[in-house]
Amino acid sequence: MFKRRERRSLFRFFYEVIFSLKGISRAIGYVGIRLKRIPDTPHKISLGMSCGIFASFTPLFGLHFLIAGLLSYVFRANVLASLIGTFVGNPITFPIITVFNLKLGEWILGSSEYSSDDGGKIFEGFLDFIFLIYKSFFTDGSIGENSVPRMNEFFNGVFIPYSLGGFIFGIIIAIISYFLLRPLVSTYQKKRDSLKAKRLKKKLMRRKDEIR
């Protein structure tokens, strides 16, 4: 269930890694620009980012935007910042997040069935599980008897430990992120407002000189 269907060549592996790094670097740059332009208070922006970061630690892949948006709405945070915060979960960080979540969840539950496996393989297992549910409901019309043991194995051995570990790690990282981001956002906004005030002052001075 957690094995690759096709074995990647060494060239293909490095190509995908390099391509991912370039894409992630561009995404980080874009996220930074968007975050700076959000017109809201440092508290709401930082809280929104924390909501998005927490959502990235949940096992509900494909629903992170929705989870982040709902959390930001409940806590009255900035929704756009929460969506940007979900970029913490990406092809490079997901395997690491997966392993840490599983190890913590399995340690709490007292099991260690999959924690030694590669995070990428387990992430593929999540995709297989989602595909299995989709196929069962939308193609077969119901979950077949042969699929039940695989779903139970995945749910008990991976989903529950991942959810437990992700909930704990997500809260910890989200709280740390909030207290790190808030002063940074506040400092940036003060500098931005100061520059705007200086530019406005220069503009007014020029107008006065033209009138004279």
Q: What is the DSSP letter of 146?
A: T
Q: Domain of 103?
A: 10-211
In a domain, 1, yes or no: no
Q: Is 135 left (phi over 0), alpha (psi -120 to 50) or beta?
A: alpha
In a domain, 3, yes or no: no
Please write the tens of the pLDDT for every residue from 6-50.
Answer: 554 544 544 444 445 455 555 555 555 666 677 889 999 999 999
In a domain, 168, yes or no: yes
Q: What is the pTM of this model?
A: 0.71
Q: Based on the structure, what is the number of domains in the chain?
A: 1
55, 171 in Cβ contact below 8 A? no
Instruction: Note the pLDDT of residue 35.
Output: 63
Q: Classify each residue of 161-196 as buried b or exposed e, where b means 16 or more C-beta atoms within 10 Å of its C-beta.
A: bbbbbbbebbeebbeebbeebbeebeeebeeeeeee
H/E/C letters for each residue in 153-192? HHHHHHHHHHHHHHHHHHHHHHHHHHHHHHHHHHHHHHHH
Instruction: Note the pLDDT of residue 15.
Output: 47
In a domain, 110, yes or no: yes
Instruction: Note the pLDDT of residue 75.
Output: 95
Instruction: Note the pLDDT of residue 51.
Output: 96
Residue 1 CB coordination number (10 Å): 13
Instruction: Note the pLDDT of residue 156.
Output: 78
Q: Is 62 left (phi over 0), alpha (psi -120 to 50) or beta?
A: left
In a domain, 96, yes or no: yes
In a domain, 4, yes or no: no
Averaged in consecutive runs of 10 residues, what is the pLDDT profile of the chain (212 residues)? 47 47 54 68 93 93 90 94 90 85 89 57 64 62 52 77 94 96 89 82 74 66
In a domain, 5, yes or no: no
Instruction: Note the pLDDT of residue 39.
Output: 80
In a domain, 45, yes or no: yes
Distance, in Å, from the CA atom of 115 to the CA atom of 141, rounded to the nearest integer, reads 33
